[in-house]
Chain A
């Protein structure tokens, strides 16, 4: 195999191996000796990403009451590892993003120094700022009168292209040196967008945790349970069409600390919902993840209803409806019908 690799490629390959080993060495100074299979792994970055024991150790460190301060070695390790610019190692850091955000947000209210967590979050934010080069993220809305890769225009277009409609998905990022509290949601939101873009490569456990945290952040788990118990047959739009009851872990994590509800402005709600949507409707084989994502989506929808934020209601509502639809509906159309309303309109037309 190695003979196939061009010399320059092989040097970068070895460099990344060395980098990974150095990273693991510095991790072992914090956590104590790492298990052998990891130390001698052929592909250390992937092993590091997927090793359940190491993940568990790192997470319990992050949950420790004294974690996240400016001199927290683990935060420093996460920061350095992310700055290594090795994509594989950056994934390792992103793997812990849900935990970091959760612990950070639950302590943001206290006056404790959280410089360690903030440094990691700012590193992710700065990384994304550099990638975007100060430009806003935009979506050009397709105008079907112009032909595209996927369709031909029915009418021949005039010499000038029809105007394009540009929507802003995310405004340009201003660089931040510190986390200002009114900018916290923006910084975390951008970090989560980075997480979203690498979601396909994230281990299942990270996504599962994220969905569980969402339930706490949204803060309506209680209402969801009550609603389900008092049996639910209201209108098609609501989250309450769920027939069966889904067990939730009650927002109680293994460290016994209940997460707190957090302000969810759109800049934070949007990336959170995108991640949950991936867990719910992406191509995952894990039923456990789908169930967790469904609960998260329901709680987020309830939260959107409580905040009466139309943008969030529309997005979360359509996700829930999609989660409930059976497979392919192009061949077997699935028509939602309110028979009584239809009957009423027929009656009205007779009058």
Chain B
């Protein structure tokens, strides 16, 4: 019977044709020289096959048609005759046998639980042995199809196994299932095989649901295989290129604990895996960590990521690498100071070994670049980076020069002696120009160059750079527009500057409009158009109100920026009204500003200005002193105090002079300070010095922007 069904395709020439099931078994036995584990078909033949047949015979006293086919098919599979194996397996009517197999598995495990030991199994139920044999046949059929390149058919076949076992055990593998090791093994193999087959066949959704099927129920997989499946699912979810939501039934059961997106599900799986690593249930796996870094970087969860980097046991990452990673995490999380400390520690260590880590140096310089108060350290980092770039990393030298130039610029601004300032300023320009020759395509270098030139009041060059920068980024940079408008305003060309601001408002989004409106209003004030300026401030304040009401999802820094802007707008309005001698309006605006932030030197300075305008000199002095007590380095109040003291004359003049000298130390480009200093010198009779001061004040005023270059 066997031969009539499928014998034609078989290649039995060398061997004797099997005459009966027994002879098949004997032949099995004679061929198998090697023994190996059960179910491992890839390793030749094994003794267990004989045991299989024997035990089948013992249990049912006969080897039925399907079992015979299962065994024969296995033999063909082992020989690599996948076509022939498939032919044999196709003779097994899986669909017909399914209910019996399900019943057999279910009953067997149920009975095992409920019935007292020693009772016999029902006679008409299929034996567990046959069930495993048949499951193996299905699995091998699926594998044969896989070998023949028919991945989709293979997957559909493999899915049968899962369907059968899942129908029998809807809640996962019951506890206490022992003995059926072969059944378990077949099933576990099918669990692992199915998603791979769907992937090979190019069915992403099916692959993902196959993984989920294997992972959501307890199937008593061993830890490593379980972890491996979890990792594979995480990978498919992260890189699959399609969103495959969890089926709704999970969402009902787990409610808000259900991942709502693939990336979330992947992160969950990876965190579970990391915990397994931490509990040493599985070995350290660099891939899990890198997938986690990737997933958390995409979703911006850097503090969590830093926690995991810190938990990594020593010896896995080198010291420098670990510190670099941590610094990256913290700086990405916005904790720049923490990142900087870590870098310093890491670099101190590697410096002793004369092996500096270039990216760490660059990161250090970049962190200082973001915070002017660390500029001196930034110079240090960047100089070392330039020194240590070897030939293959020479393309990073431009980056280092850029950072160096910017840090020099910051240092120049806070420098206390003129000669040092000049030296630093020229170093800054030199480094930036050097960076521009290396990083020809990097618009940010051009921006920095423009900004530094603007600060040094080389306005023509600054305008050129700003225009070039906006061209390079195709107008996509808010700070580029702002720089251009400010530089043009510094050229005292307020009309063009206002036109640039209008253009910028067209090219930017709503949030950026606030800054530009403020700038526009300042330009209108400079053009002595108080009415237009008041209108612009009105629009600005209305927009701020809208922003505050829609503040969902804005970060703390954004909220603060909007608050600061609101205060500035009220203060500016107060100045306008003060100038127009409309005292009550000015007070109203001032109160509004104070309601936003009372402890701001700017508010108290404005109060002083208002009092001063009303000739309440003593009161004004008090207000300016309050501003200085809040922020001792607040230059405008120093200058204003000096101006009031100057009017008192006499002994107050020297006091006023010291205030002005202090102010000019902090801000040498403050033309008001120079003007007042000139007046004092004139009053004291040193006319030459006074003329110099007036000259400086005039020139500086002719090149001041309406707002500071930030």
Chain A contact residues, CB within 8 Å of chain B: 105, 108-109, 136-137, 139-142, 144, 146-151, 161, 164-165, 167-169, 171-172, 174, 180-185, 196-202, 219-220, 222-223, 226-227, 230-232, 234-238, 240, 260-261, 263, 270, 273-275, 277-278, 280-283, 302, 305-308, 310-311, 313-315, 317-319, 321-322, 325, 328-331, 333-338, 341-342, 344-345
Contact = CB atoms under 8 A, between A and B. Distances in A.
Contacts of A223: 395
Interface string B438-461: 010111100000000000000000
Interface residues of B, number: 113
Given A139-B267, A139-B299, 17 more contacts: A108-B474, A141-B299, A142-B264, A142-B271, A169-B261, A169-B298, A182-B507, A182-B512, A235-B320, A310-B332, A310-B363, A321-B286, A322-B290, A322-B294, A330-B224, A330-B283, A335-B315
A216 to B, nearest CB: 11
Contacts of A108: 474
Interface of B: 199-200, 202, 204, 207, 212, 215-216, 224, 227-228, 230-231, 235-236, 238-243, 246, 250, 254, 256-261, 263-264, 267-269, 271-272, 275, 282-291, 293-294, 297-302, 304-305, 314-321, 324-325, 327-329, 331-332, 339, 353, 357-359, 362-363, 365-366, 391-396, 398-399, 403, 439, 441-444, 471-478, 481, 506-510, 512, 552-553
Given A150-B269, A230-B391, A314-B332, A141 B304 contact: yes
Nearest to B362: A308
Contacts of B264: 139-142
Contact of B242 (A200, A236, A277, A331): A200
Contacts of B300: 167-169, 311
Given A181-B475, A182-B478, A282 B239 contact: yes
B474 A184 contact: yes
A237 to B, nearest CB: 6
Given A142-B268, A182-B478, A308 B363 contact: yes
Contacts of A278: 239-241
A230 B298 contact: no
B364 to A, nearest CB: 10
A218 to B, nearest CB: 11
Contact of A167 (B299, B332, B506): B299
Nearest to B274: A144
Contacts of B284: 333, 335
10 contacts: A141-B301, A141-B304, A149-B258, A226-B394, A274-B298, A277-B294, A283-B199, A314-B328, A315-B297, A325-B290
Contact of A333 (B202, B260, B283): B283
A115 to B, nearest CB: 15
B466 to A, nearest CB: 15
Given A182-B475, A263-B476, A341-B320, A230 B315 contact: no
Contacts of A141: 264, 267, 299, 301, 304
Nearest to B552: A172
A132 to B, nearest CB: 12
Nearest to A282: B239
Contacts of B395: 220, 222-223, 226-227, 302, 306
Contacts of B319: 338, 341, 345
A337 B316 contact: yes
Given A172-B552, A199-B242, A331-B224, A311 B286 contact: no
B314 A345 contact: yes
A219 B294 CA distance: 22
A236 B318 contact: yes
Main secondary structure of the interface of A (DSSP, over half): mixed
A234 B392 contact: yes
B58 to A, nearest CB: 37
A12 to B, nearest CB: 21
A314 B216 CA distance: 31
B256 A305 contact: no
Contacts of B439: 306
Contact of A319 (B241, B294, B299, B477): B294
Nearest to A308: B366
A305 B297 CA distance: 15
Contacts of A136: 553
A315 B300 CA distance: 10
A164 B254 contact: no
Given A200-B241, A311-B300, A305 B283 contact: no
A282 B285 contact: no
A313 B328 contact: yes
Nearest to A307: B444
B250 A330 contact: no
Nearest to A265: B476
Given A305-B362, A311-B297, A314-B297, A234 B393 contact: yes
Contacts of A319: 290, 294
B475 A196 contact: no
- Select the residue from B246, B283, B304 with max chain A CB neighbours within 10 A: B283
B293 A198 contact: no
